[in-house]
Amino acid sequence: MTDLNLLYDAILNGKLEQSVEVTNQAVAEGIEPQEIINGYMIKAMEEIGLRFQNGEAFVPNLLMAARAMKGSLDILRPLMKGANSVSMGKVVIGTVKGDLHDIGKNLVASMLEGCGFEVINLGVDISSEKFIEAAKEHKADIICMSALLTTTMNYMKEVIDALEAAGVRKDVKVMIGGAPVTDAFAQQIGADGYSENANGAVALARKLVAE
Amino acid sequence: MNSRERVIKAINHQEADRVPYDLSGTTVTGICKGAFLNAMKERGLSTDYEKEVDPISQIVTPVEETLVALKSDTRRLGARRVINYEQIRTKEGSVWSLVDHWDCLWKLDETKDLYYNQFTHPLEQYDSITEGLKHWSVPKWSNYVEQMRADIAEQAPALGDYCGIADRNCAGLTEMSLRIRGYEKWYMDIFMDPAGVEQLLEDVTQHKLDYWASLFDWIEEQGLQDKIQVVSECDDLGTQKSTLISPDDLRKMVIPRFKRIWEYTKKRMPHIKNFMHTCGAVRPILPDLIEAGLDIYNPVQFTAHDMDLKGLKRDFGKDLVFWGGGIDTQSTLCKGTPEEVSDEVKRILDIMAPGGGFVFAPVHNVQDDVSAANFWAMWDTLMEYGKY
Ligand code: B12
């Protein structure tokens, strides 16, 4: 029997080869993808997120963990085709127009992905049209916006207004984040939630899809 | 007391007649074009500015008469960050673009961008840095010395009785590495190609040492040593919460290289103080930077984790001069009312001014979202309340 704790270790320590190897063995032994994801992958991502939050892990550690996680997920995903229930929900994520900071946004995207969400990462410098188009096309449950600049964070309000104008605001939840963003700002612009870190983003997303 | 004497007092941990003020003495204590134009118009000051030193962040250096009126105590001397900017940029529709001498492509769309943004990284296409460095190398500074000499000859007359800052020619060691390799790839290379990471850091260090050598040569030739008080380096190592890469990796790969740079600057110009800009939550490495020869720390981003000003002044005030941290630029200066701006400047002066060791500048460049009213609230309060 494969020791799936090795998958947990592989992701936590950012070891892609080990992660792929253990996942392949587990699949060959007939272990359900869902069990692998819920029992080990999500736990490992939560742990690395926690270490990051506590200043015990750093950007490189998170990127390596995400890479190892994706290696495993690439094997598992095709096996879960059709079984819609496996996805926690669909998230469209991007950094807003005029802003190129994406390190934090990508970490949030990876954490969400590693914790069972389907993530459509639009990239940086994303206009309200692009957010709306993607939300419609993918029937997203949540739109996540990131901004690291005081000069670009106000654009989040424009996106929310545009969602309203396009008549899709009621269909999606809106989460925002990035260094200058605060809870008060989120409330002020009519977003559904804010989190100051990637782990909190996952908790919030879970809460919002459950609502 | 002239500006140079004022700053010399402050950087030697003594109180002068007032807290010195730095505007445009470096590329991290400047003002963006839009904010500058608004603020100057409001008080009828000249809105003219010099050739752009750092067009990437769209900051401008006001002309001398404006700097005098603004009582800035500093003047910058150093290469332009984008060499021959006016000649190498092109425009298509609303989009300006340029390829700098590091082979990075930058674009600015006038309809939406406040800054130039980077589009390509010369080593991005390779499997590793080690592989990439077989095909591409860090530009030789010697190719640009002549242009630098022409540029600094234009800047030098402004040094006058001001604190002269010899400013860097390029971004920091990790920043340049990130620009060259691409952000996420470089972070992962720390694990996957540590030798390549070290090699690239080393090549950038050499580039910087060559730059400093050429700048000091010129300063000596002109007999201007006494006009220079500060040598300014940078590397953004922190985020809002922690350092970007681990303190241990910084101690191993990055700080020793700054130490070499700072030893060199002190060897060539023993009277200068070493200044470094590093954003964010960097408290854990401040002792290491001091050990490595750092004298002056900027931007003092006190809104970041564990960077409270009282604690910093208490724990590092003997060893470090704080240059910056005069007002928060992530909320108060851009979103507060003029009263809030004024109150914060007063509060911070009360903490930082006693005993000297403080030069006033906001946390980072004044961005375009800062109103004229807030700029002047900051400035008036400093000039009034910053007196000793
Ligand atoms: C790295 C960096 C850059 C890199 C970005 C590279 C990249 N590919 O992302 C480069 C060099 C390109 C850059 C450029 C600029 N930068 Co910059 N940059 C930073 C720096 C040092 C770190 C940001 C970072 O990556 N943090 C690490 C990540 C992990 O943290 P994070 O992004 O905050 O994300 C976490 C949370 O916020 C949250 N989160 C993030 N997004 C989301 C989204 C959702 C939905 C949720 C729920 C949560 C969430 O979770 C993440 C993980 O925990 C900060 C300093 C700082 N204090 O933040 C300055 C900083 C953001 N930059 C700043 C500035 C001014 C600039 C420039 C204008 C250039 C300049 N220096 O003049 C340009 C602008 C370019 C542009 N158009 O965007 C200023 C902004 C000031 C202000 N008034 O807003 C800062 C604060 C520096 C400072 N001290 O002033 N920058």
B245 to chain A: closest CA residue? A58
Question: Which ligand 1 atom minimizes the distance to the CA of A101?
Answer: 9
Whole-number mean pLDDT of chain A? 94
User: CA nearest B327: which of B370, B360, B280, B371?
Assistant: B360
B128-186 pLDDT, tens digit per residue, is 999 999 999 999 999 999 999 999 999 999 999 999 999 999 999 999 999 999 999 99
Q: Does ligand 1 come within 6 angstroms of the Cβ of B128?
A: no
Contact between chains at B241 and A97 (C-beta distance less than 8 A): no
| Cross-chain Cβ contact A150/B190 below 8 Å | no
Of A106, A149, A197, Cβ closest to residue B184: A106
Question: Pick from B60, B77, B99: which is nearest to B212 by CA?
Answer: B77
Q: Find out whether the beta carbon of A192 lies less than 6 Å from any atom of ligand 1.
A: no
Rounded CA-CA distance A79/A123 in Å is 27
Question: How close, in Å, is residue B248 to chain A by CA atoms?
Answer: 11
Residues 132-191 of A with CB under 8 A from B: 149-151, 179-180
Residue A85 is predicted with a pLDDT of 55
Q: Is the CB of residue A205 below 6 angstroms from any atom belonging to ligand 1? A: no
Looking at residue A77, its pLDDT comes to: 86
Q: Is B329 at the interface with chain A, CB within 8 A?
A: yes
Give me the domains of chain A, ranges plus CATH numbers. Answer: 5-84 (1.10.1240.10), 87-210 (3.40.50.280)
The pLDDT value recorded for residue A61 is 97
> From the CA of B159, how far away is ligand 1's center (Å)?
34
Ligand 1 pocket residue status of B329, Cβ below 6 Å: yes
Inter-chain touch B190–A60, beta carbons under 8 Å? yes
Q: Which two tokens stand for residue B176?
A: 């340049």
Q: Is A95 in the pocket of ligand 1 (CB under 6 A)?
A: no
pLDDT of residue A88: 87
Confidence at residue A79, expressed as pLDDT on a 0 to 100 scale: 87
Q: Find out whether the beta carbon of A176 lies less than 6 Å from any atom of ligand 1.
A: yes
pLDDT for A70 equals 94
Q: Which two tokens stand for residue B362?
A: 């906001």
What pLDDT, on the 0 to 100 scale, is given for residue A81? 67
Contact (Cβ atoms closer than 8 angstroms) between residue B307 and residue B299: no
**Which chain B residue's Cα is nearest to A58?**
B245
Residue B388: how many other CB atoms lie within 10 Å: 12
Q: How many CB pairs under 8 A join A and B?
A: 62
**3-state SS of chain A: helix, strand, coil percent to 5?**
60, 15, 25
Q: Nearest-CA neighbor of B297 among B257, B258, B345?
A: B258
Cα–Cα distance for residue pair B185/A124, rounded to 1 Å:
17
Least Cα separation, residue B140 to chain A (angstroms): 29
Q: Which of B184, B245, B368 sits opposite A58 (nearest CB)?
A: B245
- The per-residue pLDDT for range A79-134, each reduced to its tens digit, is 876 654 568 899 999 999 999 999 999 999 999 999 989 999 999 999 999 999 99
Q: Which element (helix H / strand E) includes B260?
A: helix B255-268
Q: Are B175 and B112 spatial neighbours (Cβ–Cβ below 8 Å)?
A: no
pLDDT band at A78 (very low <50, low <70, confident <90, very high): confident
Confidence check on the interface: ipTM exceeds 0.85, yes or no = yes
**For position A86, what pLDDT does the model report?**
63
Q: Which of A13, A58, A97, A149 to mutate to test the interface with B (most CBs of B within 10 A)?
A: A58
Residues 84-113 of B with CB under 8 A from A: 112-113
Nearest to B188 among A67, A125, A149 (CB): A67
pLDDT at residue A82 in the model:
61
CA dist B347 and B239 (Å) reads 25
Selecting from A53, A103, A151 the residue whose C-beta is nearest the C-beta of B114 gives A151
Q: Which residues contact A164 (CB under 8 A, 6 or more apart)?
A: none
Sheet order of strands, B273-277 included: B74-77, B163-167, B228-234, B273-277, B296-298, B321-323, B358-359
A98 close to B (CB below 8 A):
yes
Q: B245-302 pLDDT, tens per residue?
A: 999 999 999 999 999 999 999 999 999 999 999 999 999 999 999 999 999 999 999 9
B contact test, residue of A97, A107, A150, A199 with most B CBs within 10 A: A150
Strands A142-146 and A173-177: parallel
**B20: its two tokens:** 């010195």
Q: How far is the CA of B267 from the centre of ligand 1 (A)?
A: 36
Answer yes or no: is pLDDT of B53 > 70: yes
Contacts of B267 (CB under 8 A, 6+ apart): none
Task: Tell me if A150 and B330 make a contact (CB, 8 A cut-off).
Answer: yes
The pLDDT of residue A84: 44
| CATH 3.20.20.210, applies to B3-85+126-385 | yes
pLDDT tens sequence across B185-214: 999 999 999 999 999 999 999 999 999 999
Long-range contacts of B110-114 (CB under 8 A, 24+ apart): B112/A97, B112/A98, B113/A98, B114/A98, B114/A151, B114/B32, B114/B34, B114/B58, B114/B367, B114/B368
Residue B371 touches chain A, beta carbons under 8 Å = no
Q: Is the pLDDT of residue B112 over 90?
A: no
